[in-house]
Amino acid sequence: MPIVYALAILLVSITVLLGLPQALDVAQTQIVAKGLPNNTVYAQNDRPQVAGTKRVNLTPQSLGLEAPVISATAALVKDLDADFLLFVKDPNKRVPIASTTKIMTALVAANYYQADDSLTVPKSALVEGSNMGLEEGEKLTFRSLLYGLLLNSGNDAAYTLAKNYPGGVSTFVQEMNQQSLKLGLINTFFDNPAGFDSPSHFSSAFDLAKISAIASENPTLARIFATKEATVASSDNSQVHFLKNLNRLLDLPGVLGVKTGTTPAAKENLVTLLARDGHRILIVVLGSDDRFGETQSLINWTFDNFIWE
């Protein structure tokens, strides 16, 4: 009998030891974040869950209500689970997309970097426009830079990610375009990782919807898209960055991000993922005079006009 007890204790000890690295990894990947869909601080790889995210693959039926008139140059509303377009306005038109570019930037970076990879901020990454407040020589984890990229829409974070990539910015942007080709996006081309205006930097509502849908399937990116506020620090804790998501629609029930963008040429842009009543709706508004108001109008119209049977 003592031998049986000893074997049982040994097995329990081995199980605990094997599970310890995973438990430590969860602890080390916590980040101070506020404003997730249920106000919980999640571990790195947890996907945010809110009421209404259980997927329903029913075909939407229109009640014939007139769609809102919007100023946006291009737009679409898509039921992701039914793979059904509910609304379109010039969905294939090539337009500047400002910082919605950073959805692809995040995808390419996430395919290469690991969460705790340490990256150094070069002076050349401190570019103009929106930023997360990085300083030359500062070291941060990839995960921290992702928060600055997607909440504050940090151009400095975008260029830090690109400049630390093998081959630098040019190779990083080439990979952005390679990913576009793999996805069959014929109306998309990138020439920088931040979304600066350029004649050779554009996408379409249809293409951007496809990029965003894929990005939203990444648990890490989905979590960050839905985060309202976060605090990240440099590796030595000498610099602390208080980040706030620029997306005002995160206060609406079921809104899970995804990304804002604005430049003089692109005007106001917004990609929105909504989970409500079991339906995942993706809305892209590009070249708008009122991205938040027009997106909200499209949300209201979608749930007033469609029933799922």
Residue 259 annotated as binding site: yes
What lies within 8 Å, CB to CB, of 139 at 6+ separation is: 118, 119, 120, 121, 234, 235, 236
Q: What separation in angstroms does the CA of 139 have from each of 23, 38, 167, 195? A: 25, 31, 19, 24
Token pair belonging to 221 = 């990116």
- The residue annotated as part of the active site, out of 99, 204, 212, 234, is 99
Closest CA to 224 of 191, 197, 258, 251: 258
Tokens 């869950």 label which residue? 49
The answer to whether the CB of 97 falls within 8 A of the CB of 209 is no
Tokens 């340490």 label which residue? 118
- The residue annotated as part of the active site, out of 89, 102, 163, 228, is 102
DSSP H or E segment with residue 242? strand 240-244
What 3-state DSSP class applies to 103?
helix
What lies within 8 Å, CB to CB, of 172 at 6+ separation is: 108, 161, 162, 163, 165, 193
Give the Cα separation of 304 and 51 in Å (integer): 19
Q: Is 99 a catalytic residue?
A: yes
Q: Is 288 a catalytic residue?
A: no
Amino acid symbol at 242: F
- The residue annotated as part of the active site, out of 130, 144, 153, 180, is 153
DSSP assignments along 166-198, one per residue: TTHHHHHHHHHHHHHHHTT-TT-B-S-SS----
Amino acid symbol at 134: L
Q: Is 234 a catalytic residue?
A: no
Query: Could you give the residue numbers annotated as active site?
Result: 99, 102, 153
Residues forming the annotated binding site? 259
Residues forming the annotated binding site for substrate? 259
